[in-house]
């Protein structure tokens, strides 16, 4: 049936957008498309369950790069104006990889499990995995509930920055690019990013959390002046 596995394009774009250093280098035109395609081919083959031609991946990367170059960045005034930000430490980023046919049931189970946790987690279904962003104090409950079915890939000692974009902020894909680029220029590595229409959630090393928050808050303060 159609839709039982992700397309080659979906997998490649997912890989490019989730790897922030690679994404930034694509935006700056500093990536060798063929070298990058050869590097991600094993992952693309595994997820799509195909032997994908490297040139096919190169074409997808080039189209993605061309699209990014046309986006541009919105003016600073429209990006963080009146946005509200919160910083949370003591966060755990857990990845599970259920079989594709089990995705829906697993998502339902995670929603039910949420009611038993101290804080409601963020649950993000991705192409071949599910991300759970939770309070570190809830990790043992998550581990006990899930470890018998899936190998867990936890990223401990993480921090979370939530950016609530104001109604006045311009709704543009450039907003996310601006924020990730700002942190990149300040030497802050983003472990994961989840981009919504109204909210942006950034996952960082716990040690980078306060500095990233300061960079964003200073930018917001400059805008208010």
For the chain, state the CA radius of gyration: 19
- Please state the CATH superfamily assignment of the domain spanning residues 72-225 in this structure: VC0802-like (3.30.2130.10)
pLDDT > 60? residue 123 = yes
Per residue in 182-206, pLDDT tens? 888 788 999 998 887 788 899 999 9
Beta partners for residue 125, in sequence order: 130
Tokens of 160: 């979370």
Beta partners for residue 87, in sequence order: 161
Q: Kindly report the CA angle at 175 between 191 and 41, in degrees rounded to 5?
A: 45
Per residue in 139-148, pLDDT tens? 998 888 888 8
């Amino acid at each position: 049936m159609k839709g039982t596995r992700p397309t080659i394009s979906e997998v490649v774009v997912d890989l490019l957008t989730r790897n922030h250093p690679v994404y930034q280098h694509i935006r700056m035109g500093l990536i060798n498309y063929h070298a990058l395609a050869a590097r991600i081919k094993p992952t693309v083959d595994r997820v799509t369950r195909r032997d994908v031609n490297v040139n096919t991946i190169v074409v997808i990367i080039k189209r993605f790069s061309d699209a990014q170059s046309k986006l541009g960045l919105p003016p600073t005034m429209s990006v963080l104006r009146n946005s509200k930000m919160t910083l949370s430490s003591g966060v755990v980023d857990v990845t599970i990889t259920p079989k594709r046919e089990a995705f829906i049931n697993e998502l339902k189970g995670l929603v039910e499990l949420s009611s038993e946790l101290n804080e409601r987690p963020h649950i993000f279904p991705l192409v071949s995995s599910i991300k759970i962003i939770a309070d570190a104090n809830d990790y043992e409950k998550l581990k006990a509930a899930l470890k018998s079915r899936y190998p867990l890939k936890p990223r401990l000692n993480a921090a979370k920055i939530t950016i609530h974009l104001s109604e006045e902020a311009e709704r543009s894909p450039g907003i996310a690019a601006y924020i990730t680029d700002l942190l990149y220029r300040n030497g802050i590595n983003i472990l994961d990013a989840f981009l919504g229409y109204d909210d942006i959630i950034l996952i960082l090393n716990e040690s980078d959390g306060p500095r990233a928050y300061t960079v964003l808050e200073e930018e917001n303060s400059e805008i208010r002046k």
